[in-house]
Amino acid sequence: MQLRQGFPDAWRVYQTCGGRVDAGRVVCMLLCTVVPCVSQMAAIPGGCFSMGGAGGDQDERPAHEVVLRPFQIDSCEVTWAQYDSCVKRGACTPPHYDDGRCLMWTSHGVVRVRVPHKYRAPDSPVVCVTWFQARQYCRHKGKRLPTEAEWEYAALAGGGGPYAWGSAPPGGSRCTMPSSRKPLKSGSFAPNAWGLFDMTGNVWEWTADRYERDYYRHSERDNPPGPSVGRYRTIRGGGWYSGRDQLRVRNRQWFVPEYGEVSLGVRCAK
């Protein structure tokens, strides 16, 4: 009763996830509602899962067995304030909000954009960072970018998808929708079963892997590192203006590593 009265958000997470996760993860999720969740990492158990599937796009096929060692991953997407602190220390370069190197997909193709200051809320996920900037930020924190396999495994959280929360369709009570016209505060919605927020929607997330359309046809079974060569890098999770299909956990997309995008951010692992 004291938890319910003193920390209603924590009580909501407990009711939503307490029956599906072990005590350690419940404690972590409760802490994330009381202190800034960007400071938390979730411990992901090693295990075996089926990556990809037959019902999605061509590059998601075939479904194949993957075995991963245990790892940790940020509970929330890196925020603007957190990334800015790295810039102020001289360890990171500024996001490309104003210099023409931030892109956006439109019905007319890809366009260069500038991000208004009113959209740079300190507790919203940082966007307009390149793959190299995302990698450098994670390195500065003693972390790294997650592999594509780690990302999908963590997002599924032992479930079957197709979304991070399960099979219910995307909606405003579960993830950021295009009507928001921008990313929302990191951790605005209930986490998945392993305590990870915004694995579906809000912003796309860079992974360590290069992109190859047919990689799944010859991917390694144990801790796959991704293709050894490739022009683009894989991004996962969907963004604030993504459609239902792109919000699926198994959906794969790619982006040029030298540019940022208005719905593309970062989450670190180790």
pLDDT one-digit tens code per residue, 198-209? 999 999 999 999
- Per residue in 97-107, pLDDT tens? 999 999 998 88
Residue 46's CB is within 10 A of a number of other CB atoms, namely: 11
Structure tokens at 185: 């505060």
Residue percentage of the chain with pLDDT more than 70:
86
CA distances in angstroms from 211 to 106, 141, 198, 207, 254, listed in the order given: 22, 25, 22, 10, 6
Strand partners, 222: 67
Q: Which residues contact 93 (CB under 8 A, 6 or more apart)?
A: 87, 133, 136
CATH tag, 36-265: 3.90.1580.10
Sheet holding 109-112, edge to edge: 109-112, 102-106, 260-261
Helix (H) or strand (E) holding 49: strand 47-51
> What's the pTM?
0.86
Give the pLDDT of residue 13: 43
Q: Where are the domains of the chain?
A: 36-265
- State both tokens at 18: 């307490």
Measure the CA–CA gap between 232 and 1, rounded to whole angstroms. Answer: 51
Confidence class for position 4, pLDDT limits 50, 70, 90: very low
pLDDT at 89 over 70: yes
Q: Peptide bond before 62: cis, by omega within 30 degrees of 0?
A: yes
Does 22 or 104 have the greater pLDDT score? 104
Query: Mean pLDDT across the chain, nearest whole number?
Result: 89
Q: What is the per-residue pLDDT for 193?
A: 97
Distances (CA, A) of 149 to 135, 205, 211, 238, 262: 17, 13, 12, 16, 24
- Which whole-number Å values give the CA distances from 240 to 42, 61, 80, 97, 119, in the listed order? 23, 26, 16, 17, 13
Q: Is the pLDDT of residue 16 over 50?
A: no
pLDDT at 6 exceeding the cut of 60: no
Please return the burial class of 75, using the count of CB atoms within 10 Å of its CB with bins 0-12, 13-18 and 19+.
buried
Grade residue 37 by pLDDT with cuts at 50, 70 and 90. low
Q: Is the model's pLDDT at 267 over the cut of 50?
A: yes
- The per-residue pLDDT for 17 is 43
Q: What is the pLDDT of residues 72-86, one digit of tens each?
A: 999 999 999 999 999
186-243 pLDDT, tens digit each? 999 999 999 999 999 999 999 999 999 999 999 999 999 999 999 999 999 999 999 9
